[in-house]
Amino acid sequence: MAAKETIDFRSDTVTLPTEEMLEAIRHAELGDDVFGEDPTVNRLEKLAAERMGKEAALLVTSGTQANLISLMSNTKRGELVILEAESHIYWYEVGGISMIAGLLPWPVKSPLGALDPEDVEAAILPQNIHFPEPALICLENTHNRHGGTIITPDQIKAINEVAQIHGMKLYLDGARIFNAAIALRVDVKEITKYVDNLMFCLSKSLCCPVGSLLVGTDEFIKKSRKLRKVLGGGMRQAGIIAAPGIVALERMIDRLEEDHRNARLLAEGIAKIKGIQIDLSYVQTNIVCFDISGLGIAADLFISKLKEKDILALTLAENKVRMVTHRGIEKEHVEKSIAAIESISNELHLELK
Ligand SMILES: Cc1ncc(COP(=O)(O)O)c(C=O)c1O
């Protein structure tokens, strides 16, 4: 009997490495990266810097570690960091910004994840003996909690102008930066050229098992390399991680368009289902978030009903559900999932009658 197939929409981090990645790992040339002697890591870092149009790059263990190192590299303890109120750094990184980096996060709200330059300007505290020094502005592109929304190069440019006026650095959490570039149909450098430094993840929709890259000036990367060591992120034969990263940068980016098409198909399908509310203007890349208040049950229960049908999703809030498309989710999976959600909605509406 064929094994039952589970369709996993929880995150684009659940992807498994491709055969080509496994082959690349098998044949990777290795050395001790703490001594700077792993040729595969060195190749990946060079490639990442070139792709992003910056001087240098550094392989780190995770997106969270990349963000923490950048916060520390770009600031001094006690300084103020402006970030979007729903940003990953503020919500999901265990408060490392305060606990480890010793910084004061200053959240600024936005409807779609792109900070308004006027709001940023208003949040920058004037020179005053009572206030911390404003040092850094952080952006997130695409924006996870807002549902994979995109910040355009023009929007980043406008924030960059504010940062420059106030002598602040501009950092981009670009965990899914290639999703933004593919959806906008621009070279990724169009997005990176207005920020001082950034990170992107290999382990999200690019299918690598582990790893993120920090990218910026030689000086920023030199400082970050030392901070990575202090945080316990100095790795030895890290070519094992870097080898699939090279495959990802060379081959896995163009296919993101397929994930975006599937997300749109899913969103448009569930938009027609009774009891579900979804704002299609938020569905810009591979993340689909929707409100299930109209079904009369909490998101946790909705998710367990989906699980009974071998479909996995995540709760975003009491009435909000998130589904993410990635390599491994095909059009047929999307169609099957729309039908499953429709049947849950029908059952619940029958119960209500
Ligand atoms: C926008 C964003 N930044 C950072 C991270 C953290 O990455 P990691 O899970 O590799 O620590 C994530 C993870 O989902 C993310 O979505």
- pLDDT per residue rounded down to tens, the chain (353 residues): 456 789 999 999 999 999 999 999 999 999 999 999 999 999 999 999 999 999 999 999 999 999 999 999 999 999 999 999 999 999 999 999 999 999 999 999 999 999 999 999 999 988 999 999 999 999 999 999 999 999 999 999 999 999 999 999 999 999 999 999 999 999 999 999 999 999 999 999 999 999 999 999 999 999 999 999 999 999 999 999 999 999 999 999 999 999 999 999 999 999 999 999 999 999 999 999 999 999 999 999 999 999 999 999 999 999 999 999 999 999 999 999 999 999 999 999 877 66
- pTM confidence score: 0.96
320 in Cβ contact with 269 (< 8 Å): no
Give the model's pLDDT for residue 353. Answer: 62
Give the model's pLDDT for residue 125. Answer: 86
Distance (angstroms) between ligand 1 centre and the Cα of 103 equals 19
Distance (angstroms) between ligand 1 centre and the Cα of 244 equals 19
Is the peptide bond preceding residue 142 cis, with omega within 30 degrees of 0? yes
Give the model's pLDDT for residue 3. Answer: 65
Q: Within 10 A of 129 (CB to CB), how many other CB atoms are there?
A: 4
Pocket test for ligand 1, best of 201, 206, 214 (most atoms within 8 A of CB): 201
Distance (angstroms) between ligand 1 centre and the Cα of 234 equals 20
Give the model's pLDDT for residue 352. Answer: 62
Both tokens of residue 146? 């807002």
DSSP state, residue 129: T
Distance (angstroms) between ligand 1 centre and the Cα of 3 equals 31
Cβ < 6 Å from ligand 1: which residues? Answer: 62-64, 67, 88, 140, 144, 173, 175, 201, 203, 212
